[in-house]
Structure 1
Amino acid sequence: MASLFKEQINILVVDDEQSIVDFIKMGLEAEGYTVHTAFDGYEAIKAVQEINPHVVILDIMLPGMSGYEVCSQIKKLTKAAIIMLTAKDEVDDLVKGLSLGADDYMSKPFSFKELIARIEVRLKSTFPELSETNTMGNFSIDDGAHEISYNGNILDLPPTQYNLLRYLLLNRGLVISKSTILENVWGYDFNGDENIVEVYVRYLRDKIGDKDHNIIKTVRGVGYKVVI
């Protein structure tokens, strides 16, 4: 089974503190995940039914319905991994959360890097298929490791080169314009010259030995197309 990529992984963040929700959402989206939010237990249950998330980051102290109750309800609806957040760090809280089906537990304040690490562990444990590589011809993409291999060898790709090659591979067979590539790889707010795409395509061709442009083809006046 081919793996999902991060943007296909849904994470639900449930907390009644706007600042905490915004902080987690911004960080997870920067990592490439698709993030949904809820600010109370009832909203969280509704969101779970609608999006069927892979991971739920759930605060214990919620208005109306406690995080414990929400945890119990979510486990009846989905196999999502639940990471509980609380300002408390007492053993009884941890035991109660885990007994209701929570998969992990973090006390506020917490390190965002630690949260990312725990999310990745939970994804691999609960959805082992996500850790598989996506193979396309002689290429394979390991989104978790942020690596692309060609003919069995891991390519040395800085972040932008990785993102560009990944984008081209995922859209293999399609002709993609420079402007579309810029929007999806560099971002909508990029204000530089679109000819930078040519420079980075040249880097990629050098990395994969595509001197005759048989893999990354130039479609004159239109853009680029990957053929594998």
Structure 2
Amino acid sequence: MPFGEQPAYLRVAGDLRRKIADGTLPPHTRLPSQARIRAEYGVSDTVALEARKVLMAEGLVEGRSGSGTYVRERPVPCPVFRTGYRAAGGSASPFRQEQADDRAAGTWESRSEREEASPRVAERLRIKEGERVMRTRYLFRTGGEPSMLSTSWEPLELTGRTPVMLPEEGPLGGRGVVERMAAIDLVVDNVVEEVGARPGLAEEMLELGGVPGHTVLVIERTYRAGGRPVETADVVVPADRHRVVYHLPVR
């Protein structure tokens, strides 16, 4: 194929994408059938099918069992504020502060349990594989709809048998990592975050109300005190519904 020339299925997908973008095919409209695409664009069944697959993979359309393929309503991305963002006098996490706004109608649920550190978690916490950690899983909702998953791990060597062993219980339950660690004389002085993207796992998208395989943003966050990791977490958000916003102080 000559340089710059697109395969037929990409040309068809591109035209349908344009129609979705300009409103010719508005949200909840049924996508033209495979037979209609074949006839309108003069392509084979295989090309028509591949074009539809491209649009589904991009999250522009969705299949409805026994009904057909429909244009998805595109959500307006909402911000996920990260490092450096704090409301005046606030000590909770940025997300909790955002959701405290009555307009956001944010809620969350969590569950903590002890487990042995996997190789990946052990590496991030700089502990030995198999050492005991407290894992806490969160499901955040905005306006009643699932919006974000977070899983955090804290080494029980540091927090075990202390008032902050359970992140959501005790005298400092629900407070930020910085405040909780300060209570056991650990001064958090830096946070490292790595932002990446990958296909959403089936179990993640089941909880987030999305389609398995659609792109999610993953923020790998690690709090450190004097160079020692005291907490690490994976924050997972659907890429089509969120934008990660960093507010960083200039020194």
TM over 0.5, yes or no?
Answer: no
TM-score by length of 1: 0.22
Indicate the structure whose relative CO is greater, using CA pairs within 8 Å and at least 6 residues apart: 2
From the CA coordinates, give the structure whose radius of gyration is larger: 2
Larger proportion of helix: 1
